[in-house]
Structure 1
Amino acid sequence: MASTVALALKLAWAGRVRLVLSVVLVALAMTVFLVVTQLSAIGAQGLDEAIDAESGVPGSYAVEMQTSFGLDRGQLVDAVHDALDPVSSEPIPYVVGYPDIQPECPPYDTLGRGMVRFVYNADGTPYALPYGADVPSDTEVCLAGQAVPATGIFVPSAAQESRWGLSLLFVAPAYEHVAALMTAEPVAYRFVVTTGRDDSEQTIRAALRQRLGDTALRFGSSVDEATVDVARLDGGQQVRAASQGIKTIFGVIGWGVLGLGALGLLISQLIVVRDRMWLFGLGTALGARRLHVAILVAVDVVLTVVLGVAAAVLVAVLAQPVTDQVARSTFGTDADLLNPGALARLVLGAAAVLVVASTWPVLRATSQDPLDVLEPKVS
């Protein structure tokens, strides 16, 4: 076996010009494949994040309640989480809203009365909203005589307002106790559930009825009466479909280039097998098994692919600064060409090239009758 591999390496060295050209072909295909798939990945990620920011996370729902069914906040939050955690793929943040509040210091009293909301994580800790962003530093809101600085105020975009609810103000949870002094109206609750599905409205309602039905009856109400709505938060299905189409196009380009490289290597190997058929026939006539012939062909292909991948990795390392610059200017992030995911795709692509470029040449070389080579039939 070792002697067969050594012979294969000697044959490869004898045809080193062809080997070098084949390595360059594979390296080019691998490099383009690596760059295209990586830029596709970060581009798709950035596009998906932008769509989620503008249209909502896919399969997300808002559950808004006008009453706590006589439960305190901790009991209500626990009950809703017990009901909806099994159907939610992510932790369920919630919003506490105090209606009929009017800020007291000018010019904010001109806003009139409205809901002031406070956003919490599922575990009750303050949700990390960008408080103070896009708010003038001298902004000040007065609640029950206490000034709330600009760093405690959140101004949502339309998509964020859709997620967290319409509100006069979003204020940091540290000031909730002040807002509680300014209204006698029942507190409203809003839970954001992410199931990842587009048909979960009835599932959410059924889970709430099962968990809170008896509590609601004792309170003299029902879950449906107290639940303002179970509403889809995500949209932009057409944009999401276009995003998927772009990812598919990038994938076709990447794998297409890799396929062309594999096809070029396959043609090269078929020519080599044809030229060396006399050697394979002679070896078989002298007692070599088909396994030895297969090794002679496969080692040449493996050597070409391994050297091509190594060259592609070297090119990726050298091209990393330029690729990062392109990615930052286009997608606002770096393109790590040799991250674990990219390397996994590279290994998968190399395996695909290896299979495509070696299978038929090996079958052709091992299926040849040595007599047909040593004594060609004369027609």
Structure 2
Amino acid sequence: MKVSRLVALLIRRSPFRAMMLAALIAVCSVVFSLVSELSRVSTEGLDAAIFQDNGYLGTYSVSLAGVPLTIEDQFDVVDRAAESLDMSVWRYSEVLPEVESECPPFDQVGRRSLQVMWERPGVPAELDFGHIEGVNAEWCIDGQSIPKDALFAPSSDEEAIYGAQLYIDPAYANLVALSTTDPITYGFYVVSGREDDQVDALRFAVLDEVASLAEASGYAPSVVIGRVDSAEVNVRDAADGIALVYDLIRWGVLLLAGLALMTVQMLSARQRGWFQGLLIALGAGRARVVALVALDTAIVAVAGLVLAVITLGALSDPVASFAEQSLQVQARSLSATSLVPLGFGIASVAAIAAVGPALMVVRRDPLAVLEAPRD
């Protein structure tokens, strides 16, 4: 008789045990998924708050002078230097010459440098143009105007990211540049994502990249590096600690489910000892009996996973509604990305639960089992 048919017969003989184990797996899977989503929402919220208050972790400003390079060449130099230190160029700003507005209320702020933010040469950054702290005004230069919808002034919460600058739409950059003969400068933002200070290392890396160009042109390069972000280590460590607690909870729940399932399966293996000993005595082989136990465990685990997916699907709308109304965040109880760790977790649970019964089968003496008195 095939192993699958034997398992089906055993499950039919004890349906209550199979249903209870499947329900246990389902409950633990639902808890795992909900805690995982809570961890994701909390982590994203904390990261966003830290980002607003302190900027990206390990952000540096880089400016070049003394070498006649186009913006494309400057970007390539900084990009190569950043890559050599396992960093990346986040964005760069085009610092236009200082100009003075002819229209109120900006005519009261004096001369000020407007900036253009770029992702990379030719690709402007997406900014919230029109957001200038509620001031309904435009910037006027030489009788021409830059409308409010082309201006962006970071709020106090955004200054850690963009600084206290006034940004304009790239379409109006030439209007500002042509109003004066002063030069345009560029500032690059390099992100490491690490707490350790890399100012000196980044300076040397950039100088190495421009050394050959400087030697050929006879110019003396100047590189200015500064750290932009506020390294609030305690806040970041606290956020990492919260994420670790969530991980311990969700994986701990699955571990307990695996141990509980293993305990029940070991009791079942003990109760079915005479039957399993008989199979081995009749020549079924220990490997086949172990496969019988493993398949029984796998079927229970898969049934629990299916039940959990159905439950999570039913909870999807209530969870999303509660998160939106109470926490003002977007949450989902079931998604394609959450199924991957859940599936891995259930597979781990089944593997843990099958170990104990399998060892009992391997170590069992079939003759001793058959000769022992049956209760």
The answer on 1:192 being equivalent to 2:189 is yes
What's the counterpart of residue 21 of structure 2? 22
Query: Percent sequence identity over matched residues?
Result: 31
What's the counterpart of residue 47 of structure 2? 48
Contact 1:103/1:109 (<8 A) preserved: yes
Contact 2:323/2:329 (<8 A) preserved: yes
Deviations 1:95-145 (A, max 9, x none): 122344221222212112232222122123322111112544731121232
Cα separation, 2, equivalents of 1:340 and 1:229: 43
Question: Is there any run of 5+ residues in structure 2 with no aligned partner, and where?
Answer: none
What's the counterpart of residue 7 of structure 1? 6
Bigger shift: 15-24 or 284-293? 284-293
Shift of 1:285: 2.5
1:284 partner amino acid: I
Contact 1:277/1:373 (<8 A) preserved: yes
Shift of 1:272: 0.9
Q: Show structure 1 runs of 4+ deviating over 6 A.
A: 217-221
What's the counterpart of residue 254 of structure 1? 250
Q: How many residues align?
A: 372
Cα separation, 1, equivalents of 2:304 and 2:160: 51
Contact 2:52/2:160 (<8 A) preserved: no
Contact 2:206/2:223 (<8 A) preserved: no
What's the counterpart of residue 174 of structure 2? 177
Shift of 1:312: 0.4
What's the counterpart of residue 342 of structure 1? 338
User: SS where residue 138 of structure 1 aligns?
Assistant: coil
Cα separation, 2, equivalents of 1:7 and 1:83: 65
Bigger shift: 103-112 or 227-236? 227-236
Bigger shift: 90-99 or 121-130? 90-99
Cα separation, 1, equivalents of 2:215 and 2:157: 35
User: SS where residue 294 of structure 2 aligns?
Assistant: helix
Q: How large is the RMSD of aligned CA atoms in angstroms?
A: 2.6
Cα separation, 2, equivalents of 1:82 and 1:272: 63
Shift of 1:234: 4.9
Question: Is there any run of 5+ residues in structure 1 with no aligned partner, and where?
Answer: none
Shift of 1:163: 4.1
Contact 2:203/2:224 (<8 A) preserved: no
Contact 2:202/2:225 (<8 A) preserved: no
Shift of 1:336: 3.4
The answer on 1:277 being equivalent to 2:294 is no
Bigger shift: 283-292 or 325-334? 325-334
1:246 partner amino acid: I
What's the counterpart of residue 356 of structure 1? 352
User: SS where residue 57 of structure 1 aligns?
Assistant: coil
TM-score by length of 2: 0.89
Cα separation, 1, equivalents of 2:72 and 2:287: 72
User: SS where residue 124 of structure 2 aligns?
Assistant: coil
Cα separation, 2, equivalents of 1:17 and 1:314: 20
Shift of 1:243: 1.0
Shift of 1:361: 1.0
Contact 2:26/2:307 (<8 A) preserved: yes
